[in-house]
Amino acid sequence: MNDHGTFGEVAALVRETLALPESEPVRDDQLLFFDLNFTSLDMLDLLFRLEQRFDISIREGTIYQLARGETPDSEFAVDSVLTSSGRERLMRMMYDSPAEIFPPRIHVTTLPRYCTVGAITRLVEHKIART
């Protein structure tokens, strides 16, 4: 599956999740929560749809694990808040999200709020590559 094909399918699932008409454009740089007005329930719905469509598993904490990488937990977050180096790692991973949306203190449970449609597409492609 090529990048454009994966993005097209993810965009279609975003439209389905939000019950948007086919004519409504979904771009890779759109933020799910800020631009498309996703709720936490919408995110769960989208993740379920992605798992079903692509036959992948996206466990809770996947974004956290990807952003943390090989960094020890204690260097990435303290008391469930990203450290400054954890915040920098997240911002590098979410390079297509505007820097100004990242507050100084980021709680680990809010990481999906910084995702663009493109970031979700990259997540899906990462999961597909690992299966």
Q: What is the mean pLDDT of residues 27-33?
A: 97
Please tell me the predicted confidence (pLDDT) of residue 131. Answer: 81
Q: 77-78 and 81-82 as β-strands: parallel, antiparallel, unpaired?
A: antiparallel
The position carrying tokens 């999200």 is 97
Query: Are the C-beta atoms of 54 and 13 separated by less than 8 Å?
Result: no
pTM recorded for the entire structure? 0.91
Q: Among 70, 72, 63, 59, which Cα is nearest to 108's? A: 63
- Count of beta carbons in the 10 Å neighbourhood of residue 53: 14
For residue 18, the SS3 value is: helix
Residue 2, pLDDT above cutoff 50: no
Residue 4, pLDDT above cutoff 70: no
Residue 3, pLDDT above cutoff 70: no
Range in 4-8, 98-102, 112-116 the model is least confident about:
4-8
Q: What is the mean pLDDT of residues 42-64?
A: 95
Q: Which CATH class is domain 3-130?
A: mainly alpha
